[in-house]
Amino acid sequence: MIFSTRQLSLFACTSLLFCHATTHAKPMEVHARLAPQARAENKVALTLDACSGRFDEDLLAFLIRKRIPATIFVTKKWLDKNPRGVTVIKSNLDLFAVEDHGEKHIPAIIGSGRTVYGLAGEPDIAHLQREVTEGAKAITSTIGIAPQWYRGASAKYDAEAITEINRLGYKIAGFSFNADHGATLRKKAIVDKFKRLQPGDVIIAHMNKPQSDSAQGLSSGLNDALKQGFVFVRLDQVEMQKMPDQKTKRDKS
Ligand SMILES: [Zn+2]
């Protein structure tokens, strides 16, 4: 049988896609805690993601009132859509560090057709580079500081994406305590979670869904943490330690 050039190239593509699809490692979640010294001092870190969507002003107003520092991961998308949020953050840079959550909130997984939590990944490394560097540029031009940390959308990564993000000069911001599951948890569930907060935990939560229970749940949980003597720090004030429970199983995603 004789195939046309077009047919041959289609077969090659199909075959390449198949190979690609069967050799990708499962995206990993980077888990990290504060280094032992910080744990001994009862320190914990609050990190807040501003993915896309809106500005949860109630949550930031609570943090400002209670003088709780936080490390805020913003996308360019969020900065562009939330001028009020930008103003509040810029007025409180003694309390808030601002770090890179990308340009358009695209997960750091490489390969056409791959998704995580319904979000499509990047077709190639060049697109990942753009996501990381344009996110950083937006922070520098809007907030006036250069980010040091990167957290990808969905907080899941391919190993090759981690290598590239590190090469671009950014540390991956892991976490150990998922407080609001992407702003989907109800208030009581968030408050209950905080009963299990440990010294050294790096909390991840969201500040882009004011319609969720996150502000109420976090305010209550963080208040309890303060009463228990936890001390809040930003990621730029402490050393972090990676936890050895990253998932590296291979799959067909
Ligand atoms: Zn996000």
CATH of the domain at 161: 3.20.20.370
Query: What pLDDT is attached to residue 23?
Result: 54
Residue 51 Cα to ligand 1 middle (Å)? 4
Query: What pLDDT is attached to residue 66?
Result: 98
Residue 210 Cα to ligand 1 middle (Å)? 15
What the block records as the tokens of 145 is: 């500081």
* pLDDT higher than 50, residue 94: yes
* pLDDT higher than 90, residue 252: no
Q: Degrees (nearest 5) of the Cα angle 187, 202, 192?
A: 25
46 with 70: CB under 8 angstroms? yes
The pLDDT of 4-22, averaged and rounded, is: 39
Give the C-alpha separation, 45 to 38, whole Å.
10
The pLDDT of 24-38, averaged and rounded, is: 91
Whether residue 201 lies inside any domain: the answer is yes
Query: What pLDDT is attached to residue 244?
Result: 79
Give the C-alpha separation, 70 to 93, whole Å.
10
247 with 159: CB under 8 angstroms? no
Query: What pLDDT is attached to residue 250?
Result: 36
Residue 99 lies in domain:
31-239
* pLDDT higher than 60, residue 172: yes
* pLDDT higher than 60, residue 7: no
* pLDDT higher than 90, residue 1: no
Residue 49 Cα to ligand 1 middle (Å)? 5
Number of domains in the chain: 1
Whether residue 249 lies inside any domain: the answer is no
Residue 12 Cα to ligand 1 middle (Å)? 36
* pLDDT higher than 60, residue 22: no
The pLDDT of 95-115, averaged and rounded, is: 96
Whether residue 246 lies inside any domain: the answer is no
Residue 213 Cα to ligand 1 middle (Å)? 17
Whether residue 26 lies inside any domain: the answer is no
Whether residue 54 lies inside any domain: the answer is yes
Whether residue 133 lies inside any domain: the answer is yes
Sequence-separated contacts (24+) of 108-113 with Cβ below 8 Å: 108/152, 108/153, 108/156, 108/157, 108/158, 108/161, 108/162, 108/165, 109/27, 109/156, 109/157, 109/158, 109/161, 110/158, 110/160, 110/161, 111/20, 111/21, 111/24, 112/17, 112/20, 113/17, 113/21
Whether residue 6 lies inside any domain: the answer is no
Query: What pLDDT is attached to residue 247?
Result: 47
* pLDDT higher than 50, residue 97: yes
Query: What pLDDT is attached to residue 245?
Result: 62
Whether residue 80 lies inside any domain: the answer is yes
**Torsion angle defined by CA atoms of residues 194, 196, 202 and 205, in that order, rounded to the nearest 10 degrees:** -30
Residue 105 Cα to ligand 1 middle (Å)? 6
